[in-house]
Amino acid sequence: MPSGLFSSWLPWALLSAAFAALTAIFAKVGVENISSDFATLIRTIVILGVTATIVAATGQWQSPESVSAKTYLFLVLSGLATGASWLCYFRALKLGDAARVAPIDKLSIVLVAVFGATFLSEKLAAVNWFGVALIAAGALLVAYKG
């Protein structure tokens, strides 16, 4: 595991947010002249190549037999959800403004809080739920075309 600043979740989450923002901008330009589904395929191939390179270069490869059936099941479900999300996201970017599509996509934050509390028994304080409500309201206000 990394040490120092990058041993905490926060810098990684901030980098994720920055890259997600770039994803929206780059994807909006990238889907201008091709179908959104084909654009998603290209993106997926790139991600597969980069991730395979990272796993190989850092020695993180694991024997497939060392992975439990439950882990496979939930990673396959996660992969299917990711694919569906990407297909929908690229279609939305093809049809709408990136500045409006991205905030609605980020309503996933609200859903993660609800699903985490419902299915994973995660506990959020009242102030956290207030923040979730503000995120929902903010996303809707940013996406509103007045």
Question: In this structure, is residue 35 part of a structural domain?
Answer: yes
Q: Residue 33 pLDDT > 90, yes or no?
A: yes
pLDDT in tens, 129-142: 999 999 999 999 99
pLDDT in tens, 97-127: 999 999 999 999 999 999 999 999 999 999 9
Question: In this structure, is residue 77 part of a structural domain?
Answer: yes
Domain total of the chain: 1
Question: In this structure, is residue 127 part of a structural domain?
Answer: no
Question: In this structure, is residue 92 part of a structural domain?
Answer: yes
Question: In this structure, is residue 38 part of a structural domain?
Answer: yes
pLDDT value, residue 2: 54
Question: In this structure, is residue 121 part of a structural domain?
Answer: no
Question: In this structure, is residue 124 part of a structural domain?
Answer: no
Under 8 Å CB-to-CB from 54, ≥6 apart: which residues? 60
Report angle CA 105, 99, 19 to the nearest 5 degrees: 65
Inter-CA distances, 100 with 20, 24, 132, Å: 14, 10, 19
Question: In this structure, is residue 31 part of a structural domain?
Answer: yes
Give the residue numbers spanning the domain of 19: 4-105
> What pTM does this model have?
0.79
